[in-house]
Amino acid sequence: MTVGEPVPQTSAAPSDAAPPPSPPTTTTTATTTTATTTATTTTTKKTKLTGREFWESIGSPRTIVAPMVEQSEFAWRILSRRHSPPNTLCYTPMFHSRLFATTPTYRAQSFQPPHLDGNPTHDRPTFVQFCSNDPSDLLAAARHVAPHCDAVDLNLGCPQGIARKGHYGAFLQEEWTLIHSLIRALRDGLDVPVTAKIRILDTPARSLEYARMVVDAGASVLTVHGRTREQKGHNTGMADWGVIKYIREQLPREVVVLANGNVLWQEDVERCIAATGVDGVMSAEGNLHNPAVFETSKEWEKRFPRMDLVGREYLDIVREYVLPPLGLGELWAEQPMTKRTRKRFEVLMADPSLTPIKSHLFKLWHSALPRHTQVRDLLARSGARVGEDPLASFEATLEALGKAIKEELERNPEPVDAEGRWVGPDTPVEEGEEEKAGESKEGILVELEDGRKVRRVVPWYRCQPYYRPLPEEALAKGALQLKKKNKANTEGREEGENSKKVKVDPEVGAVAAVEVLAAEAVESNKKIQVDPEVEAVAAAVGAPSKEEVCG
């Protein structure tokens, strides 16, 4: 189904979604009797807000940083908040409920309140997300984080193979009774609201039934990713805002609905809200490539900040907030380093705000690295090393990038206005010139809020989205070519089948190679010592791999 296609009406949730029991009371009464008097004392707990009342209590966020495995950690959330509108909501990475509930080491490495995660001064509003297939494990895990977050979210959207193996995420979407029990356990057992993130199903009607069941189970906020479970990898395609709109229109207004999918630019946020009627828009990869993707300022420098300046800010956040509590400075000052100190150093380097640094910088600097391979090679070799400042190699890479950008600006100064500000990346597209602009090798056609269209060319040294053309677009433009042996068998095949059998144009491949290196950067983190107990349990339960954007 495409955006705007009419959708059918549907019935209520299926019979396996049991009706919710009465909500727990918030008032308890205790009676004390003495020889002469009978006293009744009433203690009232703080009322748990739900639905729209809860949403308004946290400021009704319109912009949301998605949950991403080892990518939406504390340091990145702080950076994202600094470059987003006030009250932007951030999710933690997805945690595995059984590991979190039963393995103290995993819990300590994943969530670190109150000085970092959930700190009321600089890390709110924050939702903590879990994947699970057991209500008891889920509730036990959630109780550890509930005092330090605004809500607990259930991941029902992860489409990765590891989710199939671990029996969670989008691979629960046929098991409505189990999903109902998971959400109900959180609703009845926590003092904070429960939320959920789903993917659409094969039809709008079935998607709505699914959404209704999740809401009836107790979800106060529902995030809808406008892609199916099968839309991933080469077959990602476009998210269907039409189905999201249908779900939003059919659910009560008391239910808060968020949209996920198709956000490359800030203009996409406004277009999505206008097209679907949702309360807010979530971004995952768009945020990773440009943490200012939600920035609404009219100053172009804020919407597309220089990547070296953002890199500087990111490393400063890690140094200011993350390193002091770890005490790494004291450890690397100890020379010669004892065996015990070395082991302690290795454990601390597994901190969730240290292990993703390389991967974050690969994505943040993706448009620069194909041009400056010396910077790319430095970054590929960077990493925290035992006995050294854990940021030293990243600082050296940042210095090299800053030098390359300085030289570029000396050769090609940016055009500025009368006040000395960059004039921005947009060139107006006149009526009738859209096709020509769209086919240009440089720039992307963008529709603005007022309906005007522009050709946007963001300089390589400024943060910008990683644009993946749809397979059919890439084939039409010649960026992708079918191998000769497959040409005869392509007719009638779906886009996902075709995209597996293409070779990439060298120019396109240079950028794609950076994404591969980003993934390899995460793999290199496995050299950091991890508690054997955590590794063993994670393998057994199918815990998510690092850098999987689940859901």
145-201 pLDDT tens trace: 999 999 999 999 999 889 999 999 999 999 999 999 999 999 999 999 999 999 999
Determine which one of 90, 131, 149, 158 is catalytic: 158
Per-residue pLDDT at 13 = 41
Per-residue pLDDT at 283 = 98
Per-residue pLDDT at 413 = 97
Q: What is the pTM of this model?
A: 0.80
What is the distance between the alpha carbons of residues 313 and 317, in angstroms, rounded to a whole number?
Answer: 6
Query: How do the domains of the chain map onto residue ranges?
Result: 47-296
**Which CATH architecture fits 47-296?**
Alpha-Beta Barrel (3.20)
What parts of the chain have a pLDDT lower than 70? 1-46, 233-235, 328-335, 386-387, 431-441, 468-551
Residue 546 in contact with residue 355, Cβ under 8 Å?
Answer: yes
Per-residue pLDDT at 9 = 41
Per-residue pLDDT at 329 = 62
Secondary structure (3-state) at 418: coil
Per-residue pLDDT at 286 = 96
Per-residue pLDDT at 4 = 44
Query: Smallest Cα–Cα separation from 277: which of 296, 295, 253, 301?
Result: 253
What is the distance between the alpha carbons of residues 228 and 551, in angstroms, rounded to a whole number?
Answer: 10
Burial 242-260 (b: 16+ CB within 10 A, else e): bbbbbbbebbeeebbbbbb
Per-residue pLDDT at 209 = 99
What is the distance between the alpha carbons of residues 544 and 551, in angstroms, rounded to a whole number?
Answer: 12
Q: Is 149 a catalytic residue?
A: no
Per-residue pLDDT at 235 = 62
